[in-house]
Structure 1
Amino acid sequence: MTSPVISRRLLLAAGASITFLGGGAYADETLNRRKLVVVICRGGMDGLSVSPPIGDPDYANLRGSIAIPASAALKLDDTFALHPSLTTVHRLALAGQARIAPAIASPDRARSHFEAQDVLESGASKVYGVSSGFLNRTLASLAPQRKVAGLSVGATAPLILRGKAPAGSWSPGAEANDLPRLPGLLTDLYAGDPMLAAALAQGLQTEAMAASAEQGQMAGGGMTPGLGRAALASSRKLGTTLAGFMTQPNGPQIAAISLDGFDTHANQNNALPPRLAGMDALLDGLSSGLGDEWKNTVVVCATEFGRTAKVNGTGGTDHGTGSTALVLGGALKKGGIIGDWPTLKQQALFENRDTAPTLDMRGLFKGVLADHMGVDRRALEGDVFPDSAGAAPVVGLV
């Protein structure tokens, strides 16, 4: 497929706002073509639903009513599958262009959205350890050798690309808003008040049930509950537009985009599928829009923390620890899961409730940045991920 050429004039005419910085010719044409996209799934994406371990004997009992049936899951191997909404990811996985890291986490263990997102995006070993993002420091570390442009997509530039190094930003306009993030933010604020926390949980359950009822006809017609054709088309267009930026001459090689709404405290069977379908549509638009440049691309979809292994009393899950990261791209090597699987045996759960992380998120990004983007390993240990000597780079992914 030919990658679309998207002009600033066209974007401005569509109501979008854009700022773009960077570009330039590099001596190494191979590195010049390599691209990295980081998709931040805000709210605590449930890894046990993204990549359900249907072959783990403890999975079904822990998950109860929210367990993904083996008959509906998109099988990867004897242990793991993908959520039924992730059809594009599954297609890419069968082609050797998508893999899962099913037990991954940042160094943070507080289960607070504010703190966990800060640690994920800053790349620090502790909350508020640094004020810039690790992708911005990546741009700065590459600047002496070659000029690499960065682009953030969203209503506001995420921390991951904020800092001293210049980076562009693009807002899709009215389509972007922070409303999906509000329940998670309120949950953090009310965590210390039992009365308010209980009232909020009940309200979220009622709202989720109402949304499910309104979208019931869509589900009956074979569509993803809660996400109509227009929303899916919008998500796919967003991916295609980002691909258009990245395939322009001197376009960004590094991009970050935020997706909201993964905080599924209640009625998860109806709340989560539309979010995953939207992410899948974005990845479809991005991979097809990049065309031949997909072979030079790595995409990482990551979240600030996972969810509890056991379903809660409102058909949802609460803030957890280990989750799943998706690693995709035409530059990816074929292989199995990334990292180790700790199993869901009670004694193997983190603090008797969460998927136990076996892989440090910083190690995953260290490997991708070193082997794919050519970042010096000394810079990774020093500037990009300070105090991270214990997080060994995951090598051999590309």
Structure 2
Amino acid sequence: MSMDRRGFLKTSLLGCSAAASPFLTPVSFAAAPWDARLVVIILRGAMDGLDAVQPWGAPEYAGYRPGMPRPGDASGPLDLGGFYAMHGALAPLKPMWDKGELGFVQAVSTPYRNKRSHFDGQDILEAGAMVNGQPVRDGWLNRMLQGVPGIEADTAYAVGRSDMLLMRGDAPVANWAPGSDIGGWSAQGMRLLEQVMHDDPLFRDALDEAELLSDADQADQDPETMTGGMMNMTEMSAPAKKAAPTGGHRAIARYAGERLRGDSRIAAFSLNGWDTHAGQKAALSRALGRLSDVIEDLKSSTGPVVWGKTAVVVMTEFGRTVRLNGTRGTDHGTGGAMILAGGALRGGRVAGKWPGLGEAELYNRRDLMPTADVREYAAWMMRDLFGLSRGALEGTIFPGLEMSANPKLIL
């Protein structure tokens, strides 16, 4: 087997430095700096975990959510073993559940409490740490990359138009978007627009739809005409054109999958449309349908070999209220759910400690009580995927985190 000079130097560097790195426990590298893949998807707007992963085994649930279809109803939720059922919009993913390639974690949250601001909650989720109550300035995925030898720009991709705090920091990260921002808006401008429109459901939903349509329209363009990113645009043409007819969210998923089939090992992007204050039944069905598309496209575009080495973690800034409000929606809450997927996953189960839905068991008598830190599950996944040391995870990547027993999410 031949090896070029660059490959020899990279392998030699890893061999000399990996053992000395405080970030890594002993591990064999099949590719620099590892062969496993990680995809992080941020759901902006706060997914209702009690609707995505429905606890029908809790006797109070039906009373809190009157009129919801039950497991066994046409287009209703799919039973996951008696206590939980997953939303019917996720039905295309049921074969993954059956194969152990899909799982959930219930009753998780960041340390953020009570203020219930999407923008603060998202910053804390992506920063992964706080100082004096404020999120730090770099993201936890980038801090992880900073401590690992052999990192290059192609190792990790931030995909989509969002300026992701999750990937911000000193480590090199490539960026790609299917098109320019709506009307030439910068990432900061879009964030301001989202803040201004947040409290008006009509304008907020219209903005979410416009962003999706913009992605879909821009994905039809030849990527050589686009701006931004750290990669040669001509290298993007094939995957982007292949994904173009399917819409913005699918273009992003398929592009990420194509990169993961090559030298890239990490991809991160976000999906909007999860703020369901009114008309949640239709809005959440649409959002979960898009997420289902994304996960299916990640699997198909990576291919069976790479998918078998891939873990997908889907996170959101907080949960939503247990009770429906007067407009058949839910308001900002606390405890929520994670969605996990991938061929590297030990799935087919709902992890996490269930807190109960009795009045006294709720957080502030309105929200699902968090029983675990969402960062802990992400940390254990990186520990088992990449061989990162527990000391680095608790001390540098997620400062202040205390990891309990390994939930063994990875094969």
Q: Would you call these one fold, judging by a TM-score over 0.5?
A: yes
My pick for the range that moved more, 23-32 or 377-386, is 23-32
Q: Does 1:352 align with 2:365?
A: yes
Task: Please say if residues 366 and 393 of structure 1, whose CA atoms lie closer than 8 Å, have aligned partners that are also in contact.
Answer: no
Q: Could you give the per-residue CA deviations for residues 141-192 of structure 1, whole angstroms, max 9, x where no partner exists?
A: 212x76681110111330000001111111111588989988963477xxxx
Counterparts of 1:232 and 1:59, CA distance in 2: 36
- Percent identity, aligned pairs only, is 35
Counterparts of 1:205 and 1:374, CA distance in 2: 41
Task: Please say if residues 43 and 303 of structure 1, whose CA atoms lie closer than 8 Å, have aligned partners that are also in contact.
Answer: yes
* Residue number in structure 2 paired with 1:92: 96
Task: Please say if residues 239 and 285 of structure 1, whose CA atoms lie closer than 8 Å, have aligned partners that are also in contact.
Answer: yes
CA separation of 1:342 and 1:385: change in aligned 2, threshold 3 A: same
- How do 1:136-215 residues align onto structure 2 when only pairs under 5 Å count? 136-143=142-149, 149-173=155-179, 185-186=195-196, 200=200, 203=202
Task: Please say if residues 38 and 266 of structure 2, whose CA atoms lie closer than 8 Å, have aligned partners that are also in contact.
Answer: yes
Q: Does 1:266 align with 2:274?
A: no
* Residue number in structure 2 paired with 1:306: 319
- Number of aligned residue pairs: give it: 341
Counterparts of 1:240 and 1:131, CA distance in 2: 30
Counterparts of 1:171 and 1:146, CA distance in 2: 22
Q: Does 1:74 align with 2:84?
A: no
Query: Secondary structure of the equivalent of 2:171?
Result: coil
Q: Could you give the per-residue CA deviations for residues 53-92 of structure 1, whole angstroms, max 9, x where no partner exists?
A: 1222111110124x34222111111011111111233221
* TM-score, length-scaled by structure 2: 0.76
- How do 1:1-398 residues align onto structure 2 when only pairs under 5 Å count? 28-29=29-30, 32-65=34-67, 67-70=68-71, 71=73, 72-109=76-113, 110-125=115-130, 127-143=133-149, 149-173=155-179, 185-186=195-196, 200=200, 203=202, 234-248=248-262, 251-291=263-303, 292-334=305-347, 336-389=349-402, 391-392=403-404, 394-398=406-410
Counterparts of 1:207 and 1:33, CA distance in 2: 41
Counterparts of 2:302 and 2:336, CA distance in 1: 28
Task: Please say if residues 145 and 151 of structure 2, whose CA atoms lie closer than 8 Å, have aligned partners that are also in contact.
Answer: no
Query: Secondary structure of the equivalent of 1:185?
Result: helix
Letter of the structure 2 residue corresponding to residue 78 of structure 1: G
Task: Return 5+ residue gaps in structure 1 as ranges.
Answer: 1-22, 189-196, 212-229
CA separation of 1:231 and 1:308: change in aligned 2, threshold 3 A: farther
Report the aligned-residue RMSD: 3.0
* TM-score, length-scaled by structure 1: 0.78
Q: Could you give the per-residue CA deviations for residues 257-302 of structure 1, whole angstroms, max 9, x where no partner exists?
A: 1001100101111111111111110110001111111110100001
CA separation of 1:234 and 1:125: change in aligned 2, threshold 3 A: closer
Q: Could you give the per-residue CA deviations for residues 101-122 of structure 1, whole angstroms, max 9, x where no partner exists?
A: 0111011012111211111001
Task: Return 5+ residue gaps in structure 2 as ranges.
Answer: 1-8, 16-28, 211-243
Counterparts of 2:45 and 2:204, CA distance in 1: 16
Counterparts of 1:281 and 1:335, CA distance in 2: 19
CA separation of 1:316 and 1:24: change in aligned 2, threshold 3 A: farther
CA separation of 1:260 and 1:146: change in aligned 2, threshold 3 A: closer
Letter of the structure 2 residue corresponding to residue 56 of structure 1: A
Counterparts of 2:170 and 2:267, CA distance in 1: 16
